[in-house]
Structure 1
Amino acid sequence: MTEVAFHFNVPDKLVYSCRLLRKAWSSGARVVVTAEPDTLSRLDQMLWTFSALEFVPHCRLTAAPVTVAATPVVLAGSLQACPHHDVLVNLGPQVPEGFERFERFIELVTLDDDDRAAARSRWKHYTDRGYAMKRHDLASAGTP
């Protein structure tokens, strides 16, 4: 069964995503990130620029199949044609269709009231279906 983890009190979802993806890539994990198209575009740009000394290899799911298959971080608006099902990161407000095919699934939740309300709904969706939930509260962990 998919391991579901929520990271709460994320100050900036895209900056945190860049750090999370850098850590995942350096550990050898393969990750799919799903979100609204605008969010994926902004994340794509940030992954190119957030660190002058480190690059996180990434591509869009719409890239050439050989590129997608070889790239450890894939940005996908839909999960239908994902090249792997290792780790999924959701930056969007909805439950991603097909999340249950992934081994690990991470939800990022900011301090914004609307984002928190949507996260509560997603949390209930997963718990109602029997998923074991992990909670990572960045506020109590002292993470900026």
Structure 2
Amino acid sequence: MTRVHFFHGANDRIEAAVAWLHGAWARRQDTSAQLVVVFAPDAALADRIDRQLWLQPAGGFVPHCLAGSPLAAETPVIISDSLAALDAHRQLLNLSDQVPSEFSRFDEVVEIVSQAGPDKLPARERFKFYRERGYELNNQDISAGFS
């Protein structure tokens, strides 16, 4: 069954997502494996994530691309506005305010919640959705960063 991780208390949801992706990349065990699908249903959000991942320091690059890229099949981090056409991967980083209908195809779902008011209510609804369906939930406060 899919495990769900809520990381709450971020100052900025996107910056925290990029930090989490760097940590996931650093912890990888197989560099050829698909690592994460980033679900960003809004084009501006997908562009911001893509840009932020390119702006990291030279030693911190996370190989990534948009789902429509010819390199997507061999890239560990895929940014996509849809999950329907993608194979299931180990982890899904959900940057939508909704629970993606295909989330259960993933081993893990990561939800990042900022301290911003508009982000909290949809996150509570997602948490409630997962809890009511019996998914294993883990919570971590990241207001001081990822440990």
Give the distance between the partners of 2:52 and 2:90, measured in 1 at CA.
23
1:57 paired to 2:63: yes
Instruction: Indicate if the aligned counterparts of 1:58 and 1:74 stay in contact, CA closer than 8 A.
Output: yes
2:145 counterpart of 1:143:
yes
In the alignment, the residues of structure 2 paired with residue 56 and residue 84 of structure 1 have an alpha-carbon distance, to the nearest angstrom, of 20
Uncovered stretches (5+) of structure 1, i.e. residues with no partner: none
Greater helix share, structure number: 1
1:45 aligns with 2:51: yes
Say if 1:69 and 1:83, in contact at 8 Å, map to a contact too. no
Q: Hey, which bits of structure 1, 4+ residues long, moved more than 6 A?
A: none
The one-letter amino acid paired with 1:131 is: Y
CA contact (8 A) 1:5 1:107 kept: yes
Decide whether the 8 Å contact of 2:2 with 2:106 is kept in 1: yes
5+ long unaligned stretches in structure 2: 30-34
TM-score computed with the length of structure 1 as normaliser: 0.91
Partner Cα separation in structure 2 for residue 31 and residue 85 of structure 1: 7
| Residues 51-60 or 69-78, more deviating | 51-60
Q: What is the aligned-residue identity percentage?
A: 36
Q: Distance in 2 between matches of 1:128 and 1:86?
A: 23
What whole-Å deviation, never above 9, does each CA across 1:34-73 have from its counterpart, x for those lacking one? 1222111111011101223321100111112xx1111000
Give SS of 1:120's match: helix
Across the two proteins, how many residue pairs are aligned to each other? 140
Residue 96 of structure 1: how far off its partner (Å): 1.1
Distance of 1:4 and 1:53 partners within structure 2: 29
Superposed CA RMSD in Å reads 1.5
